[in-house]
Every structure is written in C-alpha cells, then in structure tokens.
C-alpha cells in the first residue's frame, strides 16, 4: 500500500486530494514539522530535502508535491489531459511549483512570522504573490478549469494553495479581486474527495505551539543568524 507522508500544509493537501479522487488505497503517515520529524534520518532517506509531502509506493519513493501528482497520474492514467494539452499541463504545473507556491509561502512567512524590519521583504513577496495569483485569475477567466473544460491534476495543484488565498494575501477581501480563483476553490472544495482530504485534519494532532523548539526545526536559518551575531 502507498505510504503518504503529510502534514496539513498546502502541498501535502493537493496530494491528498489526488489520492482521494483516484481511489488509490493509501496509509497517511503524519510528519510533525514543528517537532522536527522532517529532519529524522529515516525520513531523510525518503525525502533528502526534509519537506512534506513524500510518498513511498513499494520500492519507489517520490518527493515534491507536483512530482508526486505526475507520478500518481501516470500510475493511474487518471486526471491527465489529452496528449495535445500536455505542454500546457507541464507549464502550469511548473508555474504553480516554482511561482505560486514559493511566493505565496514566503508572503505568509514575512507577513506572519518574520521579525522586524521586514517591510522590504514583505512588499516584495506580497507583490509577487499578487502577480502570480492575477495570472491564475486571468487564466481561469478563459475556462472552467486550468486546462479548459476538464478537471485535471493541475486543478488539484492549484487547490492546495488557492484555499489559503486570504491567509497569503492578507484577508478574505483578496477573493473579491480574484473571483474566478474563488469560483474554482469553492467548486473543488465541495467535491467529496476534497472533503475527505480535509478530514485528514482529524486523523492526527499536530503540534500547534510555535515555541523555540518549533522555530529551530522550521527556521534553521535563524540559528546561523544567531551565531553570526554572537
């Protein structure tokens, strides 16, 4: 059976959605990043990048959420577009992987976690997050889904982060400027598979406190900064 290493962040949730949509049997294995479990040697053997999600399917280990989506789509033959649309599929998957996700994540970090002074960094990442989400909005203004009329793995990759647009962009009013993003978020979130994916929240109690130990586990760069200032 597939082992799915996850927490409740956007990238694992997009994989959870695919697993639920496809009906593949899987065992969810929680990785509590605030406890530093992503740095344990056994997990690093699966994902040397010390991030979630990761997936083990027999003798095959796959990490990076969009790589996992592609692996599962090819394994099942599900939620792939026609051959003529594969170029667009790869393009939008990589746009989400290299643009939407990183800039949204950094925007959340500098808005909510980073210490002052942070005005320059927050301005940069807020600007880039908005720029990327406006590109997605323009794309969805042209069709029901990211690749046109068919629901595909690209929409699942989109959903992981799009659910958190208010957190990324500073409030629920952000959706007022992204009506087509909101439309697709709502449509996907209403699917039974998405509701089952969201139900993973009740399967494990992840550490909620952002204490010193959690900061060391999640933001190891701060340890280097502290040593430089010593």
Query: What would the pLDDT profile of 34-74 be if each residue is shown by its tens digit?
Result: 999 999 999 999 999 999 999 999 999 999 999 999 999 99
* Residue 153 pLDDT > 90: yes
Per-residue pLDDT of 73-122, as tens digits, reads 999 999 999 999 999 999 999 999 999 999 999 999 999 989 899 999 99
CB-CB neighbours of 122 under 10 Å = 18
- H/E element holding 57? strand 54-57
45: helix, strand or coil: coil
Percentage of the chain modeled with pLDDT above 90: 94
CB hemisphere CA count around 115 (13 angstroms): 4
The pTM is what?
Answer: 0.95
In which residue ranges of the chain is CATH 1.20.1050.10 found?
Answer: 83-191
Specify whether domain 83-191 bears CATH 1.20.1050.10: yes
Name the CA radius of gyration of the chain, rounded: 18
- Quote the mean pLDDT of the chain: 96
In which residue ranges of the chain is CATH 3.40.30.10 found?
Answer: 2-78+195-208
Q: In angstroms, what CA-CA distances link 47 with 4, 153, 176?
A: 12, 22, 38
Mean pLDDT of 148-170: 97
CATH number of 2-78+195-208: 3.40.30.10
| pLDDT tier for residue 224 given thresholds of 50, 70 and 90 | confident
| pLDDT tier for residue 226 given thresholds of 50, 70 and 90 | low
Instruction: Report the distance separating Cα 127 and Cα 22, nearest Å.
Output: 36
Instruction: Report the distance separating Cα 85 and Cα 16, nearest Å.
Output: 24
27: helix, strand or coil: strand
Phi-psi label, residue 213: left if phi above 0, alpha if psi -120 to 50, beta otherwise = alpha
Q: What pLDDT, on a 0 to 100 scale, did the predictor assign at position 135?
A: 98
Q: What pLDDT, on a 0 to 100 scale, did the predictor assign at position 138?
A: 98
């Amino acid at each position: 059976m597939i082992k799915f290493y996850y927490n409740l962040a956007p990238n694992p949730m997009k994989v959870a959605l695919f697993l639920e949509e496809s009906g593949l049997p899987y065992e969810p294995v929680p990785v509590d990043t605030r406890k530093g479990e992503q740095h344990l040697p056994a997990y690093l053997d699966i994902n040397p990048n010390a991030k979630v999600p990761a997936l083990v399917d027999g003798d095959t280990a796959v990490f990076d959420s969009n790589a996992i989506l592609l692996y599962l789509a090819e394994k099942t033959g599900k939620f792939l577009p026609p051959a003529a649309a594969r170029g667009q599929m790869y393009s939008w998957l990589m746009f989400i992987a290299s643009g939407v996700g990183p800039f949204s994540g950094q925007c959340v970090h500098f808005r909510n976690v980073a210490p002052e002074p942070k005005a320059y960094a927050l301005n940069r990442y807020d600007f880039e997050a908005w720029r990327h989400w406006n590109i997605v909005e323009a794309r969805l203004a042209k069709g029901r889904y990211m690749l046109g009329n068919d629901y595909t793995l690209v929409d699942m990759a989109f959903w992981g982060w799009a659910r958190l647009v208010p957190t990324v962009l500073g409030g629920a009013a952000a959706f007022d400027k992204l009506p087509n993003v909101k439309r697709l978020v709502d449509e996907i979130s209403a699917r039974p598979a998405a509701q089952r994916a969201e139900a993973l929240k009740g399967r494990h109690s992840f550490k909620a406190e952002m204490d010193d130990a959690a900061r060391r586990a999640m933001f190891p760069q701060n340890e280097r900064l502290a040593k430089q200032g010593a």
